Amino acid sequence: MPYIPSLLMAAMASVAVSSTSLEASADVRSTSQGKETLIVYLSRTGNTEAVAEMIQELVGGQMVPLELETPYPEDYETIVAQVDRENDTGYLPPLATTFPDIQAYDTVFLGFPTWDMQLPPPMKSFLSQYDMTGKTVIPFNTNGGYGVGSSFKDVSDLATGTRIREGFSVRGGLERGGIYLAIEGDRREEVRSQVRDWLKRIGLL
Ligand SMILES: Cc1cc2nc3c(=O)[nH]c(=O)nc-3n(C[C@H](O)[C@H](O)[C@H](O)COP(=O)(O)O)c2cc1C
């Protein structure tokens, strides 16, 4: 779990366990369950991952965390500066996660936090690397309270030739303010009911 500041590791033990047990390579041919729906997500402090888990519990699908060849720094200020630079230069960080059989999926949920008020660079890498033509793409987001920024529009700009469904966004943590995993306990139940309403609204439940 290279993304997660070591100070958080103890508090986030359950997140760490679930993520490390996943392979970096998503070979859908090896699974028989939910092979038509992919839930690919980026999560540093577990909030977006919590929403991904809810989606999987409600509609099924294969959850795959996006990981980088060179993980982001743990320090918050350092990652903010790096992400700023990447966005300014259009740098697409190479992914460690691979999707050998992306064409097996017809529905792709894309989960990401708002970073720098836009789509995080690793998700831009994913959408630039893989052809989503013909698929249904469904974005979901957590953020520090400032909303999705341009991230949903960034998805529609990059995922050309797809059918993009209404996205879901909810307040997650605010690392800058020392709030890491916020979607837990009662808040988790509250968010789960919002996720359920959204999935019903878009006809998936
Ligand atoms: C590099 C970085 C940039 C961020 N930029 C924003 C932002 O522009 N707007 C916002 O509301 N939150 C921002 N956040 C906060 C995250 O969106 C929020 O904590 C989110 O819930 C984190 O999701 P995660 O726990 O799945 O990593 C930023 C966090 C990081 C690490």
Ligand 1 atom nearest residue 83's Cα: 1
Residues 6+ positions from 165 with CB-CB distance below 8 Å? 136, 137, 138, 202
Q: Residue 41 pLDDT > 50, yes or no?
A: yes
CA of 122 to the centre of ligand 1 (A): 14
First to last CA, the chain: 32
Pocket test for ligand 1, best of 3, 15, 44 (most atoms within 8 A of CB): 44
Which residues, judged by CB distance below 6 Å to any ligand atom, belong to the binding site of ligand 1?
43-49, 79-80, 83, 113-117, 142-146, 149, 172-175
Q: Which ligand 1 atom lies nearest to the CA of residue 171?
A: 21
Which position has the token pair 């939910």?
A: 34
Does residue 26 lie in a domain region?
yes
CATH value at residue 113: 3.40.50.360
Distance 84 CA to ligand 1 centre (A): 13
Q: What is the DSSP letter of 93?
A: P
Q: How do residues 165-205 score in pLDDT, each as one tens digit?
A: 999 999 999 999 999 999 999 999 999 999 999 999 999 99
Q: Is residue 37 part of a domain?
A: yes
Of all residues in the chain, the percent with pLDDT exceeding 70 is 83
| Cβ neighbours of residue 36 closer than 8 Å, sequence gap 6 or more | 61, 104, 105, 106, 107
In sequence order, which ranges of the chain are alpha helices (DSSP H)? 13-20, 47-59, 76-89, 121-129, 151-158, 185-201
Structural domain includes residue 42 = yes
Tell whether 96 is covered by a domain.
Answer: yes
Average pLDDT over residues 83-92: 98
Which of 1, 78, 87, 114 has the most ligand 1 atoms within 8 A of CB, as the residue to mutate?
114
Per-residue pLDDT at 8 = 43
Query: Would you state the structure tokens that stand for residue 17, as one six-digit string?
Result: 């366990």
Tell me which residue has its CA closest to atom 17 in ligand 1: 143
Phi, psi of 51 (to 5 degrees): -70, -40
- Nearest-atom number in ligand 1 for the CA of 118 is 8
Ramachandran category for residue 99: left, alpha or beta (phi over 0 → left; psi -120 to 50 → alpha): beta
Query: Which residue's structure tokens are 């970096």?
Result: 24
Q: What is the pLDDT of residue 7?
A: 40
Are 151 and 60 a contacting pair, CB within 8 Å?
no
Q: What pLDDT, in 10s, does the model give residues 136-161?
A: 999 999 999 999 999 999 999 999 99
Q: What are phi and psi of 14, to 5 degrees?
A: -65, -35
Supply angle C-alpha 137, 87, 105, rounded to 5: 20
The answer as to whether 177 is a domain residue is yes
Residue 23 lies in a domain: yes
User: What are 166's two structure tokens?
Assistant: 């209404």
Per residue in 93-139, pLDDT (tens digit) is 999 999 999 999 999 999 999 999 999 999 999 999 999 999 999 99
Q: With 60 as the cut, is the pLDDT of residue 87 above it?
A: yes
pLDDT of residue 29: 41
Query: For residue 128, is it within any domain?
Result: yes
Look up the domain containing 56 and give its range.
Answer: 6-201
Averaged pLDDT, 33-47? 87
Q: Given the CA of residue 41, which atom of ligand 1 is nearest to it?
A: 26
Tell me which of 26 and 184 has the higher pLDDT: 184
Domain count, the chain: 1
Whole-number Å distance, alpha carbon 129 to ligand 1 midpoint, is 23
1 assigned to some structural domain: no
Over 80: is that where the pLDDT of 26 sits? no
pLDDT of 52-64, one tens digit each?
Answer: 999 999 999 999 9
pTM of the model: 0.87
Q: How far is the CA of 146 from the centre of ligand 1 (A)?
A: 9
